[in-house]
Each structure stands twice: as structure tokens, then as C-alpha cells.
Amino acid sequence: MKRALAFFGAPVVLLARTTRATAREGLGWRECLVQLHELGGRSVWLVLSGMAFFGAVLVTIANSQARRFVGNVAVLGPAYFELLIRELGPVVSAVLTASRAGAGHAAELSTMGVNEQLEALEMSAGDPLADLVAPRVVAGLVGVPLLCVLGTVAATLSAATVAQLGFGVDGRAFMDPRYVDVWDLLAAAIKAVACGVYIPLAAAVAGLRARGGAEAVGEATTDGVVAASLGCLLIDFAVSLAFQLLRL
């Protein structure tokens, strides 16, 4: 239990420390733009392609279930669209982003730690939290929700295309929003924003702890990806459970 609390609680503690350091030192907006490009610009094709394949798989599963139970895959379209909007779109997109951006952040910060660049930054009156971690958190806060939107759109279009061309079903059935309401959109937004904050924090925790040599960089990179991905799944579960308890 203590290990689990430390695993998921360390990013929360780092967020508080980073917020305090940023309030004291200020935020470098140019570095925020650089990190936004690193996180969003370099992850967009992974998210788009991954979610496009995911949408194709989703409609294939829907077609198999429809043949067994209802006979027409178009009947399941609106329900699958709601599931994609509320659950699968934001979470799978965030996990794909964590697999790339989490590895990049952890590797970069751990390399700086191994090469004693963090100590050099502190000796130059800099603050690693304000100068390195805060811009990555801002980039995640902006970039991950945008990637989640793009990923959801890609999965929806892919599902509609496969349904139309592969199964002879009107693809618009998989873009039917009859079951989607404001609470679905709110749940998706909360998950995307929370994952956007958590991914760079989890990667930063792993990266800042690294000391040693090349082996430490590899371990930090692995730990960063694992922590960021598991954190996204935990956020999905917590938000979904909260909405269920509130009957929203």
C-alpha cells in the first residue's frame, strides 16, 4: 500500500512543489511552446494513426456482436459512439501520448540528472522545477486534451468508414449523438485534462530521481512510461466511478 501511495502520490507532491517554485520564479512561455511542440506536435501522428486503427477494431467487434444479438450493426452505433466519446477516446489517446511523451520527458530529465546538468542549473540560480517541469506540465495541460479530441475524431471517422465500406452499413450510424449528453463531454474533458497534467509529472518524477549512468536513464525512461500509463488508467477509473456514484 505504501509503495502504491508513493507511486501515484509523488506526482501530486511534485505538482505542489512545481506550483510554488513557478509562483516564485515565473514561467518561461517560450519553453512552454517548445515543450508543446515536443509533446503535441511529435505525438499527433501516433495518436491519429493509433486511434484510427482502434476505431476500425471497435467497429469490427461491434459487427461481430451485432450478428450474434441484434442482427444489425447500425443499432449499436449510437451506444458505441457514446462509449468512444466518454471513455475510450480520451483514455486511449492519453495512453498513446504517455507512451511517447512520457518516455521523452523521463529520458531527457534523467540524462540531465546523470550528467549533473540539474546541479549546474541550480548553481546558476535556476530552479529545475520552474524551468524544466512547469513548462512540460503546461504543455501537457494544453496538448493532451487537443490530442484526445483529434484521436476521438480519428477513431470515429475510421469506424464510420469501415462500417460503410467493410460491412455495408451507413457510416453515419457511428456518429449518431443521440445518447451523448453534457455529462459525457464533461467526463471526457476531466479525464483529458487530468491525464495532461499527470503524464509530464509522472515522467518528471522518474527523470529527476535518476542518478548513475546509462542504466539509470533506461530505468527512469521505463518507470516514466509505466507510471504515466497506469496513472491515465487510474484517472479513468476514478472519474468514471465518481460519475457513476453521482448518477451522471
pLDDT digits (tens, 9 = 90+) for 90-138: 999 999 999 988 888 888 888 888 887 888 887 887 788 888 999 999 9
- 13 inside domain: no
- 5 inside domain: no
- 198 inside domain: yes
Regions in the chain scoring below 70 on pLDDT? 1-7, 70-74, 248
| Residue 137: per-residue pLDDT | 94
Which amino acid type is present at position 124? S
- 224 inside domain: yes
- 67 inside domain: yes
- 134-166 and 29-36 helices cross at what angle (nearest 10)? 30
Full residue range of the structural domain in which residue 112 is found? 27-245
| Residue 65: per-residue pLDDT | 76
By the 10 Å C-beta count (0-12 exposed, 13-18 middle, 19+ buried), 7 is classed as middle
- 12 inside domain: no
What cell does 247 get? 448518477
CA 161, chain centre distance (Å): 25
Contacts of 54 (CB under 8 A, 6+ apart): 88, 92, 155, 158
What cell does 178 get? 443521440
| Secondary structure of 49-88 in HEC code, one letter for each residue | HHHHHHHHHHHHHHHHHHHHHCCCHHHHHHHHHHHHHHHH
- 203 inside domain: yes
- 138 inside domain: yes
Domain count, the chain: 1
pLDDT digits (tens, 9 = 90+) for 58-80: 888 877 777 777 666 667 778 88
CA separation for the pair 235, 100 (Å, rounded): 19
